[in-house]
Structure 1
Amino acid sequence: MTYDSKKDARAALVSALLLAAIVTVSGGFTILSAHPGSTGDKTAAGKVSLREIRREAYCAHAVKRLSPKAENIRLVESPNADTRIMRFGREGQNIARCEFLPQDQTDSLRMATMSVNDKRLHRQVIDAINMRIDVLEYHRS
């Protein structure tokens, strides 16, 4: 290995470490600047609870897992606290409906049913989604 190639390799390594340090520090500031939400679903008027955010995130996550090529996933509406309706695909042509168990029935976040384009998913698929939610909740805590 010549002196110039060692010098180039060292410069690349230093650049990569510097970039990693910047990303780590900026991510740390992002986490530290976050405002903790309330526990449970009680929030001030006009604010969204963490439980609602997680319902939306888990519905979108389930859509991505069921259809890896899903694009433009967006929340269309939430007819009630336990239901999320999302559109995805080109021009929002596909609809996913995620229904969660009410909070008073369970302490954890559990999906009761899910349908994609008005076709209900099999109970085993819902169980697999709930297992994935459990894993994500465990890693989150």
Structure 2
Amino acid sequence: MKKVKKIVLKTVKQEKKRLSEDEKLLADLSREQILDLADASGRKLGFLLALSPLEDKIKESIMDILELATPAQLDKFSEMLELSYLESGNKELEESFKKEVEQIKTTFDEKEKALEEETLFILEQIENKTLKINV
């Protein structure tokens, strides 16, 4: 958890610095709004990077490279990390869903078989009673 916090804090600082330098491009926003935006973007990027399956050394190298990135590059990288995260989560969710469906099907099949056996038993009893009446 300390590594995640460290990565998040470092990317927040980097994002604040980057957005502060780009204030001219964001003239319609107040300085406070820009810093809030930088904080949110940095936290998101740091969180996604911390959760990525990359080795820590690679993550640290990426953070160093991100200091030199343009806003567009940072946005693109953030999108890529988010897609990667969502895809990995979907695989786990898909496996979980698949297991759950299989379990439901097994339970359904067992209940269906039990009902079928019970129905056959009842039909046999009715048939036996009908035979006794006809005799």
In which range does the TM-score fall when normalised by the shorter chain?
under 0.3
User: Relative contact order (C-alpha < 8 Å, sep 6+): which is higher?
Assistant: 2
What is the TM-score normalised by the length of structure 2?
A: 0.26
Q: Which has the higher helix share?
A: 2
Q: Which of the pair has more CA radius of gyration? A: 2
Q: Which has the higher strand share?
A: 1
What is the TM-score normalised by the length of structure 1?
A: 0.25
